Amino acid sequence: MRYIFYLLPRCSLLGTCLARLRGFQKLSSVDEALQKFFSATEFPEPKTVSAPLREAVNRVLAETIVAEDDLPQVDRSAVDGYAVKAQDVSDASQFKRVTLGLTQRAVLADRCARRLWTGNPLPKGADAVAMLENTKQVNNSIQVLTALTPGENVSKKGEDIMKGEVAVKPGIRLKPQHLGLLAALGVGRVKIFEKPRIGIFSTGNEITEVGRRRLKNQIFDSNRLIISTLCEEVGATPIDLGIARDNFEMITEKFRASLAADATISTGGTSVGGPDLVPEVVNSLGAPGIIVHGVAMRPGMPTALAVVDNKPIMMFPGNPVAAMIAFDVFSRPLIQRLSGLRRIETRPTLEARMTRRIATSLGRRTFVRVRVIQRSGGPIAEPVSARGSSLISTMTKSNGYTVVPEDREGLEKGETVVVHMFEAVEEK
């Protein structure tokens, strides 16, 4: 794909882009785009690294952890009470109390009981524990007031996990509960996958760094910060490559620098024609190059997707809202697959009722930002600025988005929709 430039004598600079004044020739549907992009991308097994358990939180496990011991290691009491032989109290009741002698012996004799606290190992011979509240102590013996069956109130050896059993599988993100199980098994270090590294830059002559003095008509760069923090949220390491002017060489340089990373996300410069050079640069870098350019989604239509040197490249529009939505659609599942995760983690969803009708365009998948509010009759979803799709404040005023499929022209008032939440629900 090469542009042909005309120079028209009287039309000044405008003429330079005449040949491209036709917009996108054909848009891919979101599903087509995902399918094409993912099947062109290789997902090599990520590199692994060994880490102490404490540092492995939220990381993806890269090995199968097998229990090297039974958990619990021995039969333990699950309550405060008395170790007994169940057969001695099999018919005990309020009205037929069974009296057992108290002992401290390591082996429990018939018709004896031994005081235990929660977690204490059972003495040999004992097979049940009478709960404190179901007993009464009388001098040096106890009365048991309820019948017990073998195993009652006992955490049996290996009941939690048995020696040789798989405790945690590879591809799992290690949450506190997984770490807890691994710690209980005495596992001190685990093999985890390295986080994917994502090269990130913004393009545009009008873009300047936050913190600098802004010239007239300049726009502060918000996309790099948004995309970087979203990458972290999804479990990747962002590599900040700065801002590129709308200049073939500068954009080329950024992409080349980013090919050392596992994937690249650029924002801006993805329209067809005019100063937008990003897809053109990517096609000059290597095969297969651009795979998708123009997606039937709103916002996010000028998204382009490519693969160069087996590295996936995602080119999102400069509009921050479009960039955020496109990140959710394309980067989130891609990064998770690059992370070695066994299954994709979507945002939490919630069902809510639309408070009013909204209109969308047929043939486009539309991401409508909504504010979900918890009401006594169930959650409601209030559309936030259906029109101004480029307004970044719509993302802070909303707490989620709902997806209107391509074959619909909007959502009805009162309709129940699935909302993908990016902030907590408001209770009101």
Instruction: Label the pairing between strands 378-383 and 365-375.
Output: antiparallel
The nearer residue to a second copy, 64 or 349, going by C-beta atoms, is: 349
Shorter beta-carbon distance to a second copy: residue 307 or 323: 323
- Yes or no: say if 400 and 419 are a contact pair by the CB < 8 Å rule: yes
Least Å distance, CB 100 to a second copy, is 13
Kindly tell me which residue out of 229, 356, 409, 413 binds a second copy, with binding defined by CB under 8 A. 229
**13 contributes a contact to a second copy by CB under 8 A:** yes
- DSSP 3-state of 336: helix
**Contacting residue, 83, 281, 314, 395, with a second copy by CB under 8 A:** 395
Q: Which of 2, 12, 42, 377 binds a second copy (CB under 8 A)?
A: 12
**Are the beta carbons of 402 and 419 closer than 8 angstroms?**
yes
| Spatial distance between the Cα atoms of 340 and 352, rounded to a whole number of angstroms | 33
382 binds a second copy (CB under 8 A): no
What SS3 class is residue 248?
Answer: helix
In 157-227, where do the E strands start and end?
Answer: 166-168, 189-193, 197-203, 207-208, 219-220
Judged by beta carbon, residue 257 or residue 391, the one nearer a second copy is 391
Residue 400 sits at the vertex; the CA angle it makes with 210 and 387, to the nearest 5 degrees, is 75
Binding residues for a second copy restricted to 238-257, rule: CB under 8 A: none
Among 204, 235, 294, 383, indicate the residue that binds a second copy (CB under 8 A). Answer: 204
| Residue numbers 48-77 binding a second copy by CB under 8 A | 53-54, 57, 71-74
Query: Binders of a second copy among 321-380, rule CB under 8 A?
Result: 324, 343, 345-346, 348-351
Binding residue count for a second copy, defined by CB under 8 A: 105
Binding residue for a second copy, selected from 198, 230, 290, 297, defined by CB under 8 A: 230
- Which residues, 147 to 166, sit near a second copy by CB under 8 A? 155, 159-161
| Nearest one of 70, 68, 72 to 155, comparing CA atoms | 72
Among 119, 164, 242, 405, the residue binding a second copy under the rule CB under 8 A is 119
User: Could you say whether residue 217 binds a second copy (CB under 8 A)?
Assistant: yes
Which one of residues 40, 51, 66, 184 is an interface residue with a second copy (CB under 8 A)?
184
Rg (C-alpha) for the chain, rounded Å, is 31
Measure CA 374 to chain center. Answer: 23
Q: Is 117 exposed, middle or buried (0-12, 13-18, 19+ CB in 10 A)?
A: exposed
Of 254-293, which residues contact a second copy (CB under 8 A)? Answer: 271-276
The residue among 307 and 395 lying less far from a second copy, judged by its C-beta, is: 395
Can you give 47-59 as a three-state secondary structure string? CEEEEEHHHHCCC
Contact set for a second copy, span 86-115 (CB under 8 A): 102, 104, 115
Q: Using an 8 Å Cβ cutoff, are 404 and 411 in contact? A: yes
**Contact residue for a second copy among 122, 181, 304, 306 (CB under 8 A):** 181
Q: Would you state the structure tokens that stand for residue 115, as one six-digit string?
A: 């005081």
Binding segment (CB under 8 A) for a second copy, from list 92-100, 218-226, 357-365, 407-415? 218-226
31 binds a second copy (CB under 8 A): no
List, in sequence order, every residue forming a beta bridge with 403; answer none if it has no partner. Answer: 367
The residue among 267, 263, 278 whose CA lies nearest residue 242 is 267
